[in-house]
Amino acid sequence: MSFINNSLILILSCLMFAMNADGFLLNPGQTPSPGVKSQYISLDMYLEEKKELRNQIFQFQRENEQTLQLLTTQLQQKLSVMDDKLKDSCKHNDTIELANLEKKNSELEVNLTILQEKLRLLQISYVRQKDQLDLFKNTTAEVMKELAELKQLKGVNQTLDLHVVQSKVQSLEQKTNLLTNNQNARSQDFLALYNVTLATDNNVNKMGIHFTNQILSQERRQNATTFRYFDDLTNRFNNNEANQNTTFAEVLSKINSLAVNVSTNSKKGYDEMIKQGKTVAFSAYRSSQQSLSVGTKVLFNQVWTNVGNGYQPRTGIFTAPRAGLYHFTAVVMSTGGGSLFLKMYHNLIATSGSDTEGDGYKTGTFDVVFNLQKGDEVYIASGATYTIYSNNYKYVTFSGHSIF
């Protein structure tokens, strides 16, 4: 465009100059046209050439306008195409962004539904456990009340029996004192009689000796009767105490028998639950370090308990053998001064996380409740490159059990 403008200016300048002149000198050494002796060209020739030059200029301008119009049209078409492409790209980006937002919204709604379901199940479990706790408290209170009544009854019976024995002992002591007083009186009478008859003859002495022997025999009989009565009273007291101890022992035996029956029934119920596959529980651990990368599962390769065979120590994955509500806990430990970031997964979906960092050995924990379907998987995996620490003290554990 700049070249065309400069050419037009040069041509117009030449035309203006020619209009103010009568002719043009020829170049030195140029041969004039035949029949022309002057070094000037004629005005007619100039006008003719000027006309021809104007036609060329007009033709040139027209061609330039056509070319410019064509370029303008092409440029407008390209701009229109680029504008359409830009609009399509923006529309496509808006569509993708809207789809992503709808997807995130759907995921949030699903997570909200899951959380609401978990909350409902936790509330149900809390109400059940509270009812069971109240029932246990009431049962314990009744047992303690009955035991206190039994102890009180035993104490009352023993107190009453002791009062009876004491009364009988006092009565026996009174009778013994009475016999002793009688004996003393008889001894005094015997001494008086012995003094009176001391001067008599041998017949009187024989009679005195015979009478003395009778008195001594009577005294021995009375003493023997007293001792037999006291022994009988003592035996009755001991028998009564033995009966009381036997009664209390029978009560304790019944309580122990009841406890054994409850324990036996609980054991039978537990065995029956295990036999029917209703109880699922496992507990596993590691006793050595494990190097982890992104997505590597933590292998709790040693097993304490595996009721229901839901946990696989070779893979570190728990697979639910039946549908139900499950409770999971885990403890992990980092190396000294190292970081450790782990997540618990439910069917490839990351749920709870544990992030430990800082000086020394750090522990992280998991404690979650999942509503699982049969075949659902639960495991713990790494979020980056870390090393999990453990040794013979078994710092790293993974446990879970069915609630119902």
Q: What is the pLDDT of residues 349-377, one digit of tens each?
A: 999 999 998 889 999 999 999 999 999 99
Of the segments 53-67, 154-168, 275-289, 382-396, which one has the largest average pLDDT value? 382-396
For the ranges 124-133, 169-178, 343-352, the lowest mean pLDDT is seen at: 169-178
Say if strands 290-292 and 396-402 run parallel, antiparallel, or are unpaired. Answer: unpaired
User: So what's the pLDDT on residue 377?
Assistant: 97
**Cβ contact 367:122 at 8 Å:** no
Taking the C-alpha atoms of residue 254 and residue 259, their distance in angstroms, rounded to an integer, is 9
pTM confidence score:
0.37
Average pLDDT over residues 256-280: 57
Report CA Rg, the chain.
63
What pLDDT was estimated at residue 204?
A: 47
pLDDT value for 194 = 55
Treating both helix axes as pointing N-terminal to C-terminal, what angle do 43-196 and 202-275 enclose, rounded to 10 degrees?
Answer: 170
Mean of all residue pLDDT scores within the chain: 76
pLDDT at 402: 96
pLDDT at position 368? 97
The SS3 assignment for 291 reads strand
Residue 277 has pLDDT above 60, yes or no: no
Model confidence at 387: pLDDT above 70: yes
Q: According to the model, what pLDDT value does residue 213 have?
A: 65
Q: Summarize pLDDT for 317-348 with one digit per residue, the tens.
A: 999 999 999 999 999 999 999 999 999 999 99
Q: What percent of the chain has pLDDT over 90?
A: 29
Distance (Å, rounded) from C-alpha 401 to C-alpha 325? 9
Confidence of residue 22 (pLDDT cuts 50, 70, 90): very low
CA distance 8 to 16: 12
Stated as kind and residue range, the H or E segment containing 364 is strand 363-372
Q: Greater confidence, 144 or 16?
A: 144
> Is residue 266 scored above 50 in pLDDT?
no
Mean pLDDT computed over 58-63: 86
Please check the confidence at residue 404 and state whether its pLDDT lies above 60: yes
138 or 26, which is more confident: 138
User: Any idea what DSSP says for residue 22?
Assistant: S
